[in-house]
Amino acid sequence: KVLVGTKVDEGHVNYITAYNMLTGIRFTVSRTNAKVDRELSDADFAARHKFSFDITGNELTPSAKYDFKFKDYAPWVFRHLRAKFDIDPAEYLMSLTSKYILSELGSPGKSGSFFYFSRDYKYIIKTIHHAEHCFLRKVLKDYYQHVEKNPNTLLSQFYGLHRVKMPYGRKIHFVVMNNLFPPHRDIHGTYDLKGSTMGRDYDESKLQSNPRATLKDLNWLRRDMKLEFGPHKKDIFIRQMEKDVALLQKLKIMDYSLLVGIHDLSRGNEDGLRDKTLQVFQPGLDKNEENPQGSLIRTPSKLEHARRVRELRESVKKERPVPMEAATDIMPDEANRTGFFYKDDGGFRATNLDNTAGPKIYYLGIIDCLTRYNTVKKAEHFWKGMGGHEPEISPIPPQRYGERFIRFIERTTKSSDLTEKERESADGA
Ligand code: ATP
Ligand code: CA
Ligand code: CA
């Protein structure tokens, strides 16, 4: 599991899929955002629209490079969600343009889902299973209402739900969501925490060859890691966690985790993650024109970027669809995210006991929250639970899964300047 993705260029097996995903997103998002805003109705949650793309184009869809079908789910709901998460429509379209192809993280989990980063690293496209897709549609209204009530939610931020199908190909469902990790900061440690210990161990001998691997609960505990927040931030953080987990429990969701990325301010950016990660593919550019570091082909000036955003914003405002390929060959370079947990340079800064700022920035969120405690999990529970190990195993019912998750996070959240004695009594609590 590394963050540095593989460039999806014309030779890549998933090039056409990725290209069509982006073409479909661009078309449907600009189509919806070109209309005058309105209130949501119940029908918006169930809505779906199907489009056929081909190389000639028709009265509804513009011509595309390949033939494919694209389905857009609940476009108005996601338009409103993007607005709630402060995503600027023009910026969104720029990030997800098909002119620059994504980088692929491959399939880091066991689920077989694929992950793609937008070219500026702000968004992740995750392919999801049909069951997850159906489930998200089913609970979309609950999710929406939760976001309305909890603008600072730590849950994955969903920006779009779509499906792409190529001739003779499978139907591929996918979501667009926030990349928790910032494009401009090195992440010095990544952990995926569930509050369970069974099988939650990354073999650290593999870290040599894979230094950016995502570690798990047992690695976290063995390394005596903490989420270093003083009382004030801890309180706000845990209270939000509790509200988010209450929703997941209510919807009978489980198997989610807290994804934690740590930026150590004392180490800074010496590893140059950014240059290694943000590989941009520009069609029509000769391979050997790539700059020697293999990094950004072109970094636009801030001014140039602002001008392009303005242009796009104008066309969105004028209620005309954004031209498919226009005004996009630029790269915004800062994570200007909002929300309480994402406002310290895109993350959440550590604090000391006296609530003064600490030497780390945490990038956190609850991810992989579309797994329902269904019959498969119940069967797994039955077998794994036979040995009487229930508190340690991962597939326990959603209520208890959530309780164990919160308890783990709560206990591991403490500022680093606690004395040994204070730590002990906090651990015992
Ligand atoms: P499984 O079901 O086997 O756990 P999955 O395919 O559903 O896997 P996730 O658990 O969603 O995948 O994510 C796998 C890894 O991808 C995470 O541990 C993390 O390293 C990375 N990842 C997932 N979502 C995000 C995100 N929003 N931001 C940054 N990284 C992410
Ligand atoms: Ca997972
Ligand atoms: Ca999963």
The CA distance from 105 to 115, in Å, is: 5
- For position 26, which CATH number holds? 3.30.800.10
Decide: 137 in ligand 1 pocket, CB within 6 A: no
Strand partners, 53: 68
Which contacts (CB < 8 Å, 24+ apart) does range 307-314 have? 308/94, 309/88, 309/90, 309/91, 309/94, 312/89, 312/90, 312/93, 312/94, 313/88, 313/89, 313/90
Residues 6 or more apart whose Cβ sits within 8 Å of residue 312: 89, 90, 93, 94, 322, 327
In this predicted structure, the answer to whether residue 187 has a pLDDT above a threshold of 80 is yes
How many Cβ atoms are within 10 Å of 268's Cβ, its own excluded?
11
**pLDDT on residue 14:** 84
Residues 6 or more apart whose Cβ sits within 8 Å of residue 161: 73, 74, 78, 133, 136, 137, 173, 174, 175
Domain range enclosing 29: 1-179+297-330
The residue from 330, 352, 377 where one domain ends is 330
351-404 tens-digit pLDDT: 999 999 999 999 999 999 999 997 556 556 665 655 555 545 556 899 999 999
The CA distance from 105 to 3, in Å, is: 7
Q: Which of 392, 390, 398 is nearest to 135 (CA)?
A: 398
Whether residues 378 and 319 share a domain: the answer is no
The CA distance from 136 to 233, in Å, is: 31
- C-beta of residue 327 within 8 angstroms of C-beta of residue 310: no
**pLDDT on residue 289:** 32
Domain count for the chain: 2
More confident residue, 320 or 14: 14
* Residue 34 tokens, joined: 């070109």
- Is residue 278 one of the residues assigned to a domain? no
Decide: 132 in ligand 1 pocket, CB within 6 A: no
Ligand 1, residue 179: give the atom nearest the CA. Answer: 28
SS3 116: strand
Q: How far is the CA of 166 from the centre of ligand 3 (A)?
A: 24
Query: DSSP string of 196-256?
Result: --TT----GGGGTT-TTPEEEHHHHHHTT--B---HHHHHHHHHHHHHHHHHHHHTTB-S-
What mean pLDDT is predicted for residues 9-19? 85
What mean pLDDT is predicted for residues 180-200? 92
Whether residues 342 and 323 share a domain: the answer is no
Whether residues 154 and 120 share a domain: the answer is yes
**pLDDT on residue 211:** 82
- Is residue 284 one of the residues assigned to a domain? no
More confident residue, 26 or 325: 26
Burial 103-136 (b: 16+ CB within 10 A, else e): bbbeeeeebebbbbbbbbbbbbbbbbeeebbebb
ipTM for the complex shown = 0.99
- C-beta of residue 377 within 8 angstroms of C-beta of residue 264: no
Q: Which of 55, 420, 346 is nearest to 185 (CA)?
A: 346
More confident residue, 421 or 407: 407
How many Cβ atoms are within 10 Å of 205's Cβ, its own excluded?
7
**pLDDT on residue 223:** 96
- Is residue 286 one of the residues assigned to a domain? no
The CA distance from 123 to 103, in Å, is: 11
How many Cβ atoms are within 10 Å of 86's Cβ, its own excluded?
14
| Farthest CA pair distance, the chain | 72
What residue type is 344 in one-letter code? D
Whether residues 23 and 157 share a domain: the answer is yes
Q: How far is the CA of 326 from the centre of ligand 2 (A)?
A: 37
Whether residues 57 and 148 share a domain: the answer is yes
Q: How far is the CA of 178 from the centre of ligand 1 (A)?
A: 12
- Is residue 289 one of the residues assigned to a domain? no
Whether residues 120 and 230 share a domain: the answer is no
Q: How far is the CA of 338 from the centre of ligand 1 (A)?
A: 22
Whether residues 75 and 99 share a domain: the answer is yes
The CA distance from 210 to 200, in Å, is: 17
Query: Going edge to edge, which strands form the sheet with 348-351?
Result: 214-216, 189-193, 257-264, 357-367, 348-351
Point out the ligand nearest to the CA of residue 259.
1
Compute the mean pLDDT over every residue in the chain, rounded to the nearest whole number. 82
126-141 tens-digit pLDDT: 999 999 999 999 999 9
- Closest CA to ligand 1's atom 14: 109
- Is residue 279 one of the residues assigned to a domain? no
Whether residues 187 and 226 share a domain: the answer is yes
The CA distance from 136 to 77, in Å, is: 12
- For position 231, which CATH number holds? 3.30.810.10
31-72 tens-digit pLDDT: 999 999 999 999 999 999 999 999 998 888 888 889 999 999
Decide: 129 in ligand 1 pocket, CB within 6 A: no
Decide: 248 in ligand 1 pocket, CB within 6 A: no
- Is residue 347 one of the residues assigned to a domain? yes
Decide: 259 in ligand 1 pocket, CB within 6 A: yes
Query: DSSP string of 263-292?
Result: EETTTTTTT-HHHHH---B-TTS-GGGS-T
Could you say which DSSP state residue 347 is in?
B
The residue from 280, 307, 330 where one domain ends is 330
More confident residue, 291 or 255: 255
**pLDDT on residue 112:** 84
The CA distance from 250 to 300, in Å, is: 46
Whether residues 55 and 2 share a domain: the answer is yes
Decide: 108 in ligand 1 pocket, CB within 6 A: yes
Whether residues 341 and 402 share a domain: the answer is yes
- Closest CA to ligand 1's atom 9: 368
Residues 6 or more apart whose Cβ sits within 8 Å of residue 181: 3, 121, 187, 190, 261, 363
Q: How far is the CA of 215 from the centre of ligand 1 (A)?
A: 12
Whether residues 108 and 233 share a domain: the answer is no
The residue from 315, 330, 345 where one domain ends is 330
- C-beta of residue 24 within 8 angstroms of C-beta of residue 30: no
In this predicted structure, the answer to whether residue 426 has a pLDDT above a threshold of 80 is no
Ligand 1, residue 214: give the atom nearest the CA. Answer: 20
SS3 130: helix
Decide: 179 in ligand 1 pocket, CB within 6 A: yes
- C-beta of residue 204 within 8 angstroms of C-beta of residue 189: no
In this predicted structure, the answer to whether residue 119 has a pLDDT above a threshold of 70 is yes
In this predicted structure, the answer to whether residue 341 has a pLDDT above a threshold of 50 is yes
Q: How far is the CA of 146 from the centre of ligand 1 (A)?
A: 22
- Is residue 285 one of the residues assigned to a domain? no
- pTM recorded for the entire structure: 0.84
- Is residue 213 one of the residues assigned to a domain? yes
200-232 tens-digit pLDDT: 999 999 998 888 899 999 999 999 999 999 999
Q: Which of 255, 283, 260 is nearest to 371 (CA)?
A: 255
C-alpha dihedral over 64, 65, 67, 72, to 10 degrees?
-50
Whether residues 321 and 346 share a domain: the answer is no
